């Protein structure tokens, strides 16, 4: 696959926008957990699993903070799951989006 300079410019722009979104989300999580100092980790994971025997496809999207689940998407109900009290505000916002 060959990429043009324009392709690289577009991907660079996407990465810079994502960087700003992640920075904002990390600041929100730090406030909700009352962690104002130190190093913290924001994790995002998404994708799908395909069962080649049954042909079923299962998608997933989930976010973590400091190595623990923060919020997960349930594709069956099309709602977010908040495993921590600090993620309930996000759940309500994202469920309404």
Is pLDDT at 82 greater than 90 in this prediction?
A: yes
35 in helix, strand or coil? coil
What are the structural domains of the chain?
5-95 (3.30.500.10)
Is pLDDT at 2 greater than 80 in this prediction?
A: no
pLDDT of residue 31: 87
Query: What's the rounded Cα separation, in Å, for the pair 59 and 36?
Result: 34
* Gap between the terminal Cα atoms of the chain: 36
pLDDT of residue 63: 92
pLDDT tens track for 27-77: 888 888 888 788 888 888 999 999 999 999 889 999 998 999 999 999 989
pLDDT of residue 7: 87
Are 51 and 19 contacting, i.e. CB atoms less than 8 angstroms apart?
no
């Amino acid at each position: 696959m060959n990429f043009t300079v324009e392709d690289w410019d577009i991907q660079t722009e996407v990465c810079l926008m994502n960087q700003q979104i992640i920075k904002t989300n990390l600041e929100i999580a730090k406030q909700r957990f009352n962690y104002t100092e130190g190093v913290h980790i924001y994790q995002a994971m998404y994708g799908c699993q395909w069962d080649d025997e049954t042909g079923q496809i299962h998608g997933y999207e989930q976010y973590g903070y400091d190595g623990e689940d923060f919020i997960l998407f349930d594709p069956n109900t099309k709602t977010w799951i908040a495993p921590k009290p600090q993620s309930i505000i996000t759940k309500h916002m994202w469920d309404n989006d």
